[in-house]
């Protein structure tokens, strides 16, 4: 696998190294705005990262009107990031295009369930479908990958474990919610990226074991 293949359909890549305020998208398309309370800058998996405190409701947001492909309500897509949980509790949100309260206009989210597992939830016209990883550990770096294969399935992957796959042909419900990173997640998030296609297993292996999206910009 050539690492430059990961340029293909890369929509956004956030190093999350800024000390405060806007977190730049290295491709310039979807910078994330600080909202509610600003995550602090701390040491990350690679360089610096953003530290989200659940009690402070830290979050980074791209408004719905400007989110574009991040809304992911059609086609194939992949989201990847490193996380370092400081605590784990039901309903802690890592990523969401999903209302904070109430049922309408849900699309997808990554949320802690069963106390210590990461769950990818997709709304299929009002019905929630889910796929869930094995347990995460606190004070440990984990690689999380979520993927939607339009008309086939959606899936989630923790570190180098096998995919957890849910057969799904009905797509993802359109949403008028914002794209939000953090919100109620308690821990550090680093090297977040979003593609408008399904990455191959070899590409994901490279991200997990042999590099990071930043390395693409050194080609």
The torsion angle over the Cα atoms of residues 99, 167, 67 and 201, rounded to 10 degrees, is: 130
Full residue range of the structural domain in which residue 60 is found = 3-212
Mean per-residue pLDDT pooled into runs of 10, the chain (219 residues): 78 95 95 88 95 89 95 94 97 94 90 96 93 98 97 96 96 93 94 96 89 65
Please give the pLDDT value at position 5.
83
Task: State the CATH number of the domain containing residue 28.
Answer: 2.60.120.200
Residue 197 covered by a domain: yes
Residue 98 covered by a domain: yes
Residue 190 covered by a domain: yes
Residue 64 covered by a domain: yes
Domains: count for the chain:
1
Please give the pLDDT value at position 104.
86
CB 183 within 8 A of CB 93: yes
Residue 219 covered by a domain: no
Judged by DSSP in three states, 124 sits in strand
Residues near 104 by beta carbon (within 8 Å), at least 6 away in sequence: none
Judged by DSSP in three states, 92 sits in coil
Please give the pLDDT value at position 219.
47
pTM, whole model, 2 decimals? 0.94
Pairing of strands 142-149, 127-135: unpaired
Residue 125 covered by a domain: yes
Residue 26 covered by a domain: yes
Write the CA distances from 179 to 74, 84, 99, 192, integer angstroms.
Answer: 15, 21, 10, 13
Residue 217 covered by a domain: no
């Amino acid at each position: 696998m050539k690492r430059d293949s990961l340029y293909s359909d890369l929509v956004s890549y956030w190093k999350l190294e800024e000390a405060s305020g806007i977190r730049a998208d290295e491709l310039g398309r979807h910078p994330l705005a600080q909202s509610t309370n600003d995550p602090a800058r701390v040491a990350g998996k690679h360089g610096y990262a953003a530290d989200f405190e659940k009690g402070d409701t830290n979050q980074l947001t791209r408004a719905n009107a400007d989110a574009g492909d991040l809304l992911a309500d059609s086609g194939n897509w992949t989201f990847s990031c490193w996380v370092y949980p400081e605590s784990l509790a039901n309903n802690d949100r890592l990523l969401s295009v999903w209302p904070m309260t109430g049922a309408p206009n849900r699309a997808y989210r990554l949320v802690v369930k069963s106390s210590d597992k990461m769950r990818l939830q997709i709304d299929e016209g009002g019905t929630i479908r889910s796929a869930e990883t094995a347990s995460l550990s606190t004070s440990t770096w984990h690689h999380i990958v979520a993927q939607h294969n339009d008309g086939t399935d959606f899936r989630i992957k923790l570190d180098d474990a096998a995919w957890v796959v849910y057969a799904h042909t009905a797509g993802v419900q359109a949403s008028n919610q914002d794209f939000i990173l953090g919100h109620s997640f308690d821990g550090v998030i680093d090297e977040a990226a979003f593609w408008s296609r399904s990455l191959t297993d070899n590409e994901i292996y490279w991200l997990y074991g042999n590099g990071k999206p930043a390395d693409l910009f050194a080609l």
